[in-house]
Amino acid sequence: MGRRAARVAAASRGALDLRRAAASGTVAGLCAAGAAAYCARREGTTAYAPLNAVTHCVWPERAPREVGFSVRHTLLGLGIHQAAAIFWALMFERIAPRAPREHPAAVLAAAAGTAATAYIVDYHFVPKRLTPGFEAHLGPRSMTRVYAGIALGLAAAALLRSAKR
């Protein structure tokens, strides 16, 4: 294969990975947001509180105290959270098998590894202001459920997609 053909193949794979990451990241982000909302209710706050806290990177003092629905906090928090999930899905799509239905255990391992890496980076490497913020309203057990939601969402999206895509 010539250099030009190799570049075209790499660009094509990159575009495919980006499309797959948009899909799997969206599913993963929604699963994690759902887990955060459910856990928040169980821990005595509102379902909106964890997503509102995500905006602490913009409003560090106010965001963790916001518990009701608002465009400013809830929708922006969801947007930031979804963008982060798609970012992590890019890693997942690079390490997950190309034929997920033929290797479901490898897909689950890639999803779990991605979610674990996301947690480690989110809470041990980035500055406090760039952490997800869920921890303002969720305890350790709930945080585990949120990251399990990411893993399950990534794996489900990969296993359910058409083999042609």
Asked if residue 87 has pLDDT above 90, the reply is: yes
Residue 53's domain comprises 20-160
**Mean per-residue pLDDT of the chain:** 91
87 occurs within a structural domain? yes
1 found inside a domain: no
140 within some domain: yes
Residue 18 tokens, joined: 């980006």
Taking CB atoms within 8 Å and a gap of at least 24, the contacts of 13-16 are 16/165
Domain assignment present for residue 133? The answer is: yes
35-52 pLDDT, tens digit each = 999 999 999 999 999 999
Say if residues 36 and 116 touch (Cβ distance below 8 Å): no
Is pLDDT of 90 > 80? yes
As for how many domains the chain has, the answer is: 1
The reported pLDDT for the residue numbered 17 is 82
